[in-house]
Amino acid sequence: MAVLALWMTGTVAVPGSNVEGAKPREWPANPDRHRVTIRRTAANESEKKMISVAEAAYPAKSEVVAAGKMEPPPVDDKLWWYKEVLGIKIPYAITARTIEYYSGLMEGYRKKALTRYAEPSSRFSYEASISVQETYAQGGKTFSHVYVVKMKLFFEESFVASQSEAVHFNKDREVILDTHGQVLQVTGDGETQVPMLAM
């Protein structure tokens, strides 16, 4: 698996099929079937820093706990995920910890030999870009002289987390910061639709 790192609401089940009489087989670990791409596009060190600030902005713990109906709530105050599907944490927000989690998950997938009906595979991509805006309108508000950080995350796994199921999801987030790096507004946080395929 090549890892590229550059500075540059609910679960939906979809029925699948399995050939009658088919039996699972042993699949050796195959790093090439588990791909990670991470890109952060910034023009200079100041913009890199602003992306890092945006990735360090966590939603209010109370919001995440309520969305996931977490009882008891986790001790951690920096929550980015609100539930699990097939043992995979599902994002409420894109943060530095989110990226670390999926990168680590993929690293583990690379090393797994599994017994499955089809060869297991997975993909994780994350892109962050930043722009400087003299005026910027979002959510009914207009901001002046701000940085706008846009993040895009995609994850999919097929027959890795379980023998006969696959999931995928997308997540977008936008963080507006002033010239001092103060977070002014965040959009995109919330529950994530997780389509699920079952053989």
pLDDT tens digit sequence for 116-126: 999 999 999 99
11 pLDDT band (50/70/90 cuts)?
very low
The Cα-based distances of 150 to 41, 101, 131 in angstroms read 10, 19, 9
9 pLDDT band (50/70/90 cuts)?
very low
Neighbours of 160 (CB within 10 A): 25
Q: Which residue range forms the structural domain that includes residue 129? A: 3-198
What's the structural domain count of the chain?
Answer: 1
Q: Over pLDDT 90: what percentage of the chain? A: 86
107 pLDDT band (50/70/90 cuts)?
very high
Mean pLDDT of 43-50: 97
